[in-house]
Amino acid sequence: MCLGIPAKIIKIEHGMGIIDMEGTQKEVSLLLQEDAKVGDYVVVHAGFAIQKIDEEQALASLETLREMASELAEAESE
């Protein structure tokens, strides 16, 4: 199973993008998303932006991931 994380592109240079994932910034390849622009949301997997998604979908996915992490943390503390 693969996990792709939604992130916002905040900078682009030489085919590489700097993305923001919940306050953490990382460089990713935009090779698979040639039309990506600063401000776009993308799904990131293994260092590549693999798909563009709209902001509403990205924020909903991030909220689901936050909820899952919170539930897991609660279960581990029991």
Per-residue confidence in pLDDT tens, the chain, 78 aa: 577 889 999 999 999 999 998 899 999 999 999 899 999 999 999 999 999 999 999 999 889 988 998 888 888 887
HEC per residue, 14-51: CCEEEEEECCEEEEEECCCCCCCCCCCEEEEECCEEEE
Give the torsion sign (CA, 51, 69, 9, 13): negative
> Model pTM?
0.83
Other CB atoms within 10 A of residue 19 CB: 24
Domain ranges in the chain?
Answer: 5-77
Give domain 5-77's CATH architecture: Roll (2.30)
